[in-house]
Protein backbone atom coordinates (compact mmCIF):
# COMPACT_ATOMS: atom_id res chain seq x y z
CA UNK A 1 0.00 0.00 0.00
CA UNK A 2 1.46 3.45 -0.83
CA UNK A 3 0.87 5.00 2.63
CA UNK A 4 2.74 2.23 4.40
CA UNK A 5 5.72 2.65 2.05
CA UNK A 6 5.72 6.37 2.63
CA UNK A 7 5.83 5.87 6.43
CA UNK A 8 8.76 3.46 6.25
CA UNK A 9 10.72 5.79 4.00
CA UNK A 10 10.12 8.63 6.49
CA UNK A 11 11.37 6.56 9.41
CA UNK A 12 14.45 5.44 7.48
CA UNK A 13 15.36 9.08 7.02
CA UNK A 14 15.36 9.69 10.83
CA UNK A 15 18.23 9.10 13.26
CA UNK A 16 17.84 6.76 16.18
CA UNK A 17 16.81 8.42 19.45
CA UNK A 18 20.08 7.18 20.92
CA UNK A 19 22.98 8.22 18.62
CA UNK A 20 26.28 10.22 18.50
CA UNK A 21 27.91 12.89 16.33
CA UNK A 22 31.45 13.63 15.38
CA UNK A 23 32.74 17.19 15.90
CA UNK A 24 32.56 17.71 12.16
CA UNK A 25 28.83 16.86 12.17
CA UNK A 26 28.18 19.96 14.34
CA UNK A 27 28.41 23.31 12.60
CA UNK A 28 31.27 25.57 13.90
CA UNK A 29 31.89 23.24 16.89
CA UNK A 30 35.58 22.78 16.07
CA UNK A 31 36.11 26.53 15.69
CA UNK A 32 34.33 27.19 18.98
CA UNK A 33 36.39 24.54 20.79
CA UNK A 34 39.64 25.93 19.38
CA UNK A 35 38.79 29.20 21.16
CA UNK A 36 38.44 27.50 24.57
CA UNK A 37 41.14 26.45 27.04
CA UNK A 38 41.48 22.85 28.15
CA UNK A 39 39.44 21.94 31.25
CA UNK A 40 42.79 21.28 32.93
CA UNK A 41 45.22 24.13 32.32
CA UNK A 42 47.45 26.69 34.05
CA UNK A 43 48.03 30.44 33.95
CA UNK A 44 51.04 32.58 34.59
CA UNK A 45 50.67 35.35 37.17
CA UNK A 46 50.71 37.88 34.37
CA UNK A 47 47.65 36.18 32.79
CA UNK A 48 45.55 37.19 35.84
CA UNK A 49 44.65 40.87 36.15
CA UNK A 50 46.24 42.55 39.26
CA UNK A 51 47.34 39.19 40.70
CA UNK A 52 50.97 40.23 41.04
CA UNK A 53 50.01 43.49 42.77
CA UNK A 54 47.72 41.61 45.17
CA UNK A 55 50.41 39.03 45.97
CA UNK A 56 52.97 41.79 46.62
CA UNK A 57 50.66 43.00 49.47
CA UNK A 58 50.56 39.56 51.12
CA UNK A 59 53.00 37.88 53.54
CA UNK A 60 54.63 34.58 52.72
CA UNK A 61 52.65 31.53 53.90
CA UNK A 62 55.62 30.67 56.12
CA UNK A 63 56.73 33.73 58.10
CA UNK A 64 57.23 35.02 61.66
CA UNK A 65 56.47 38.12 63.73
CA UNK A 66 58.23 39.88 66.56
CA UNK A 67 56.22 40.45 69.80
CA UNK A 68 55.94 44.14 68.95
CA UNK A 69 54.22 43.25 65.64
CA UNK A 70 51.22 41.81 67.55
CA UNK A 71 48.90 44.35 69.20
CA UNK A 72 48.94 44.10 73.06
CA UNK A 73 50.91 40.84 72.99
CA UNK A 74 53.65 42.12 75.31
CA UNK A 75 51.19 43.46 77.93
CA UNK A 76 49.21 40.20 77.75
CA UNK A 77 52.39 38.15 78.27
CA UNK A 78 53.33 40.35 81.23
CA UNK A 79 50.10 39.20 82.96
CA UNK A 80 50.95 35.52 82.52
CA UNK A 81 52.96 33.28 84.89
CA UNK A 82 55.99 31.35 83.70
CA UNK A 83 55.31 27.60 83.62
CA UNK A 84 58.48 27.13 85.69
CA UNK A 85 56.83 29.14 88.50
CA UNK A 86 53.68 26.97 88.60
CA UNK A 87 53.07 23.98 90.88
CA UNK A 88 52.66 20.51 89.46
CA UNK A 89 48.87 20.56 89.68
CA UNK A 90 48.68 23.67 87.46
CA UNK A 91 49.94 21.58 84.56
CA UNK A 92 48.69 18.09 85.49
CA UNK A 93 45.22 19.18 86.66
CA UNK A 94 45.38 16.14 88.97
CA UNK A 95 43.87 16.01 92.49
CA UNK A 96 46.80 13.80 93.52
CA UNK A 97 49.24 16.67 92.89
CA UNK A 98 47.56 18.97 95.45
CA UNK A 99 49.39 19.68 98.72
CA UNK A 100 47.83 19.71 102.22
CA UNK A 101 44.61 17.95 101.18
CA UNK A 102 42.50 17.58 104.39
CA UNK A 103 41.42 14.08 105.43
CA UNK A 104 37.80 15.20 105.86
CA UNK A 105 35.68 18.00 104.41
CA UNK A 106 32.91 20.04 106.04
CA UNK A 107 29.91 19.76 103.70
CA UNK A 108 28.86 23.00 102.04
CA UNK A 109 25.37 24.28 102.78
CA UNK A 110 22.89 22.00 101.04
CA UNK A 111 19.61 20.19 101.50
CA UNK A 112 18.23 16.68 101.07
CA UNK A 113 14.88 15.15 100.30
CA UNK A 114 13.51 12.83 102.99
CA UNK A 115 14.14 9.87 100.65
CA UNK A 116 17.86 10.74 100.52
CA UNK A 117 18.27 9.97 104.25
CA UNK A 118 18.22 6.31 105.28
CA UNK A 119 15.19 5.41 107.45
CA UNK A 120 14.19 9.07 107.89
CA UNK A 121 10.64 8.54 106.66
CA UNK A 122 10.06 5.54 108.97
CA UNK A 123 11.50 7.56 111.88
CA UNK A 124 9.19 10.47 111.12
CA UNK A 125 6.23 8.10 110.90
CA UNK A 126 6.97 7.04 114.49
CA UNK A 127 6.85 10.66 115.71
CA UNK A 128 3.83 12.64 116.87
CA UNK A 129 2.68 15.69 114.94
CA UNK A 130 3.38 18.91 116.81
CA UNK A 131 -0.30 19.80 116.39
CA UNK A 132 -1.17 16.74 118.49
CA UNK A 133 1.06 17.79 121.40
CA UNK A 134 0.09 19.75 124.48
CA UNK A 135 1.25 23.35 124.86
CA UNK A 136 3.91 22.34 127.40
CA UNK A 137 5.62 20.16 124.77
CA UNK A 138 6.90 23.27 123.03
CA UNK A 139 6.78 25.89 125.80
CA UNK A 140 8.54 23.70 128.39
CA UNK A 141 6.69 25.78 131.00
CA UNK A 142 5.37 24.36 134.30
CA UNK A 143 2.45 26.78 134.05
CA UNK A 144 1.25 25.02 130.87
CA UNK A 145 0.76 21.67 132.67
CA UNK A 146 -2.78 20.51 133.35
CA UNK A 147 -4.06 18.89 136.59
CA UNK A 148 -1.19 20.04 138.81
CA UNK A 149 -1.85 18.75 142.36
CA UNK A 150 -2.00 21.26 145.19
CA UNK A 151 0.63 19.36 147.21
CA UNK A 152 3.25 16.68 146.61
CA UNK A 153 4.30 13.77 148.83
CA UNK A 154 8.10 13.85 148.89
CA UNK A 155 9.79 10.74 147.56
CA UNK A 156 12.25 8.95 149.84
CA UNK A 157 15.45 10.97 149.92
CA UNK A 158 18.20 12.34 152.17
CA UNK A 159 19.82 15.71 152.85
CA UNK A 160 23.23 16.78 153.96
CA UNK A 161 23.27 18.83 157.21
CA UNK A 162 24.28 21.90 155.20
CA UNK A 163 21.08 21.65 153.14
CA UNK A 164 18.83 22.19 156.22
CA UNK A 165 18.62 25.77 157.48
CA UNK A 166 20.27 26.23 160.93
CA UNK A 167 20.57 22.46 161.52
CA UNK A 168 24.30 22.58 162.15
CA UNK A 169 23.85 25.46 164.60
CA UNK A 170 21.14 23.54 166.45
CA UNK A 171 23.25 20.37 166.61
CA UNK A 172 26.23 22.33 167.91
CA UNK A 173 24.04 23.35 170.89
CA UNK A 174 23.19 19.70 171.68
CA UNK A 175 25.18 17.12 173.68
CA UNK A 176 25.73 13.59 172.33
CA UNK A 177 23.49 10.83 173.72
CA UNK A 178 26.57 9.23 175.28
CA UNK A 179 28.98 11.80 176.66
CA UNK A 180 30.94 13.02 179.67
CA UNK A 181 30.88 16.50 181.15
CA UNK A 182 33.16 18.63 183.28
CA UNK A 183 30.23 20.83 184.34
CA UNK A 184 29.56 21.25 188.08
CA UNK A 185 25.81 21.69 187.68
CA UNK A 186 23.45 18.77 187.20
CA UNK A 187 19.75 18.61 186.61
CA UNK A 188 16.96 16.18 187.36
CA UNK A 189 15.09 14.96 184.32
CA UNK A 190 11.47 15.78 183.52
CA UNK A 191 8.88 14.35 181.16
CA UNK A 192 9.97 17.00 178.65
CA UNK A 193 13.77 16.86 179.07
CA UNK A 194 16.42 14.32 179.94
CA UNK A 195 18.30 14.81 183.22
CA UNK A 196 22.03 15.37 183.35
CA UNK A 197 23.57 13.28 186.18
CA UNK A 198 27.03 12.82 187.69
CA UNK A 199 27.93 9.21 188.55
CA UNK A 200 29.24 8.61 192.07
CA UNK A 201 31.36 5.49 192.61
CA UNK A 202 31.26 5.52 196.41
CA UNK A 203 28.90 4.50 199.26
CA UNK A 204 30.39 7.10 201.59
CA UNK A 205 28.71 10.20 200.11
CA UNK A 206 27.94 12.42 203.17
CA UNK A 207 25.59 14.95 201.56
CA UNK A 208 22.74 15.04 199.01
CA UNK A 209 22.93 16.97 195.69
CA UNK A 210 20.52 16.91 192.76
CA UNK A 211 22.03 15.20 189.80
CA UNK A 212 24.23 12.70 191.65
CA UNK A 213 23.70 9.05 190.80
CA UNK A 214 25.18 5.83 192.27
CA UNK A 215 27.31 3.86 189.86
CA UNK A 216 26.21 0.42 188.81
CA UNK A 217 29.17 -1.17 190.60
CA UNK A 218 28.30 0.56 193.90
CA UNK A 219 24.76 -0.65 193.44
CA UNK A 220 26.20 -4.16 193.19
CA UNK A 221 28.21 -3.62 196.39
CA UNK A 222 25.16 -2.21 198.17
CA UNK A 223 23.06 -5.19 197.09
CA UNK A 224 25.70 -7.50 198.55
CA UNK A 225 25.60 -5.71 201.88
CA UNK A 226 21.81 -5.83 201.96
CA UNK A 227 21.84 -9.52 201.15
CA UNK A 228 24.33 -10.14 203.99
CA UNK A 229 22.17 -8.11 206.36
CA UNK A 230 19.11 -10.08 205.39
CA UNK A 231 20.98 -13.28 206.13
CA UNK A 232 21.94 -12.00 209.60
CA UNK A 233 18.40 -10.93 210.35
CA UNK A 234 17.14 -14.26 209.21
CA UNK A 235 19.60 -16.09 211.41
CA UNK A 236 18.65 -13.89 214.41
CA UNK A 237 14.93 -14.57 213.93
CA UNK A 238 15.59 -18.28 213.71
CA UNK A 239 17.65 -18.21 216.91
CA UNK A 240 14.96 -16.26 218.77
CA UNK A 241 12.25 -18.65 217.68
CA UNK A 242 14.13 -21.69 219.04
Model pLDDT for residues 104-113, shown as the tens digit of each residue: 988 889 999 9
Whether 231 contacts 214, CB under 8 Å:
no
pTM of the model: 0.25
pLDDT grade for 165, boundaries at 50, 70 and 90: very high
pLDDT grade for 226, boundaries at 50, 70 and 90: very high
Model pLDDT for residues 36-49, shown as the tens digit of each residue: 888 888 999 998 99
pLDDT grade for 158, boundaries at 50, 70 and 90: very high
Q: Quick one: pLDDT at residue 29?
A: 86
Whether 167 contacts 161, CB under 8 Å:
yes
Q: Quick one: pLDDT at residue 82?
A: 86
∠ CA 144-145-149, rounded to 5°: 135
Name the least confident of 8-12, 56-60, 112-116, 151-155: 8-12
Residue range 154-179: mean pLDDT, rounded: 86
How much is the mean pLDDT over the chain?
84
Model pLDDT for residues 117-136, shown as the tens digit of each residue: 999 999 999 988 888 888 88
Question: Three-state SS for 199?
Answer: strand
pLDDT grade for 188, boundaries at 50, 70 and 90: low
Pick from 226, 227, 202: which is nearest to 214 by CA? Answer: 202
DSSP lists the bridge partners of residue 200 as 214
The span from the CA of 19 to the CA of 17, in Å, is 6
3, pLDDT greater than 60: no
Q: Quick one: pLDDT at residue 123?
A: 93
Q: Where are the alpha helices (DSSP H) in 35-130?
A: 51-56, 73-78, 88-92, 120-125
Residue range 145-156: mean pLDDT, rounded: 89
The span from the CA of 136 to the CA of 146, in Å, is 9
Q: Quick one: pLDDT at residue 11?
A: 73
The span from the CA of 101 to the CA of 200, in Å, is 93
Name the least confident of 32-36, 160-164, 165-169: 32-36
Amino acid sequence: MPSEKLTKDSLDAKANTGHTHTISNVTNLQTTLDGKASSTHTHTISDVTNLQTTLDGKASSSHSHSISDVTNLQSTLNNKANTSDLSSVALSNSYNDLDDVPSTFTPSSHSHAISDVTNLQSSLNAKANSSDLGTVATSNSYDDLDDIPSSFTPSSHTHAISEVTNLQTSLDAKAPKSHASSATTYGVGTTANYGHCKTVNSLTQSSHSNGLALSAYQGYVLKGLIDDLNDLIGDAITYINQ
